[in-house]
Structure 1
Amino acid sequence: MRPLLALVLALLVLAPCGARAGRMLRVASEGARPPFNYLDADNRLAGFEIDLMREICKRIDAECEFVTQEWENLVPGLVAKQYDLVVAAMEITEERRRRIAFSAPYAHTPSSLVVDRERTLAGVDAGALKELRVGVEAESAQQAYFEDKLPNVELRRYATLEAAMLDLSEDRIDVVADDKLAAVEFLKNRREGRCCRIAADLPQDADYFGAGLGVGLRQEDSALKSSVDAALAAIIADGTLRAISAKYFDFEIY
């Protein structure tokens, strides 16, 4: 047997089963925003974003190590090259874009309209809502949307979603507009939520509800961003994103 061939065969025998020749990447997450990311019973990162990131890493042929980081240190740590990627339910904003880059969005949290179980809505425009009293959290994206887009609707402002939902359950208002994830959790887990249901979603207007959640990267890592974006596009196209999100959410998030 030729010496070079013998060496190659020996290395194959000695190589660990399942070893991959991809790039090693460190991925940071907060671990404090379930179901997007959280720490499981073994204190390891888990959740929708962690499963999604594992799939991305597989498709870009990378070995990914997950690390926890406090929220306020996520961006500084990325810039300082303590890790390579951030996946932490981080909204894509212009302010953050001045410091880091983002992948294409992988999730959007809709804004929803909650009503009494006996009520139906004809739509989500001014004509359908003009006779209704709509509750929103003060200084929220939903307040800004209604004030700008539906100024003729009777708007009631509340300090918290709970306060608005309590008034809805007592028929003091007709509709509550809020983040869908928060609304779903309230309806599912609070006694006061038994009265009501989600009737419709507001249009996904980026000017009010953001551009979505993205994977954070350093601005100079353009090749890595291109790889992540290509993997995300494939994951969305072949239904994998929908399958992963269905394990954690009762509604579409993309």
Structure 2
Amino acid sequence: MSQPSFRWYRPKNLADASQYLRAHRGAIPIGKGSRVQKRRKALGEVVDLSNLGLDYIDVLETVEGKEVFLGSTTALERMETSEVLGEFAGGLLRKAVRHTLLRGASAAKATLGGELASCGGTSLIVGALMALNAVVRLHKGEVVEFLPVDSLYTPEGELALLSGEIIEEVSLPAAYFDGRGDLLFSESFPQIALVIYLKSVRGICEEINIVLVGVCPYCINLASVESRIRGRRWEDIEVERILKYDAFSWEIGKESLSEGQILELRHLLQRGLESFFA
């Protein structure tokens, strides 16, 4: 069977890119064209977004903190060295990017948009963005839509975007800037990771988000226990209570988790939470 002919299209703007993608449903949007030169025959048709001004890390100062905006063609390498991402939530997203690069991000995942589009919904970066309640700006031709990161994927882990829809930007809410976040890895099950984020204001705990990565074909938000713990000080929150609050949510992934994995994850989460509260 002959390979499809290759075409490299450079749109004038996002509207042009969206229109082209709708007309050429097999075309693939990319952010760093020079990285796929060797894969031309395999790709067939490419829409190069690298000249549309989407490579940026912008900061907006607000009364709640720094709101951060990430263009979809921003390189993961740039995010990994960003000072503002090192400050945001204790560097949670930057840690996720660093681990992704250490694991060998492929050419298709060299940018933020490429990672979101090709990871299948199971990614440390997606997990960190979910824990931070990040918002995606989705360009849909004539309109723009804002949606949470997990809305990009189907329950089967497939990208849920329609033809012509383009990930334009991801924003990190300023309210999450001063929280603490970390990645927790299991020694027994290295394919599994927990992303944890704790938000507080002047020592008062407001929110705890825990995301499971690497078991199902999508990240699972195991616990968002804001309503149960709001108003408590850090030292007043018992780890066992948090584990109990998310007991129902653990059932979401039970079919994909063995009893040993569930036990290991609970121990991992407990150790991680205790280190936060120490």
Normalization by structure 2: what TM-score? 0.23
Which one has more relative contact order, counting CA pairs under 8 Å at least 6 apart?
Answer: 1
Question: Which has the larger share of strand?
Answer: 2
